[in-house]
A and B are shown apart, each in its own frame.
Chain A
Amino acid sequence: AQSVTQPDIHITVSEGASLELRCNYSYGATPYLFWYVQSPGQGLQLLLKYFSGDTLVQGIKGFEAEFKRSQSSFNLRKPSVHWSDAAEYFCAVGAGDYKLSFGAGTTVTVRA
């Protein structure tokens, strides 16, 4: 069975600074990897996904993620954070049955 670890529970970053959220996965085959963002009381919005091909994936809102098979990682990055990026971020891994396993999430706080 697949699993996801997000080592950072909470990250605080200054507006305009860069952001990196860590994600490590465990899965026996080639994983399907996703990053979702959740604003308070809201559902999840897909930021980006990786299925195959280029290991650097571009997403919405200026986010990107890099798949590193050797490290079993799929870290999310943004060069310059905006106050509106404050939210909960979830990494997820999917299997062939389309079920998703989510990490515990990382809360991002943006300070002025």
Chain B
Amino acid sequence: GAVVSQHPSRVICKSGTSVKIECRSLDFQATTMFWYRQFPKQSLMLMATSNEGSKATYEQGVEKDKFLINHASLTLSTLTVTSAHPEDSSFYICSARSVSGGALTDTQYFGPGTRLTVL
């Protein structure tokens, strides 16, 4: 149980184009999903928190107009990198919050990640 998928797993695009990454919770409902960015050999940096049916909350320094997040349903959140540039190349990982029994026992389950390369 508690499986999170991401699509695509890898994407290569030209500079200036937009790329959409999907994050799905396959066997549970996720009212909250998180988007992270990971540079090579580094830790995960939280980009934004996505809540179903409301606007995403972005971390300081993350451009909301560049990284568009939509959480259209309880099982799907999308991250769109608009007008991508080479510096946006990174490993993007989503997670979904599973409520196992009361707010204090929430656990985040992570997707396998999407490798974005912008040429």
Contacts and interface: CB of A to CB of B under 8 A. Distances in A.
A66 to B, nearest CB: 19
Contact of A90 (B32, B34, B44, B49): B44
Interface of B: 4, 6, 32, 34, 42-44, 46, 49, 93, 95, 97, 104-113, 115
Contacts of A46: 107-110
B44 A102 contact: yes
A99 B113 CA distance: 18
11 contacts: A34-B107, A36-B110, A42-B112, A42-B113, A43-B6, A43-B110, A44-B93, A45-B110, A49-B107, A99-B46, A101-B46
A51 to B, nearest CB: 6
Interface of A: 32, 34, 36, 41-46, 49, 51-52, 90, 94, 98-105
A32 B105 CA distance: 9
Nearest to B93: A43
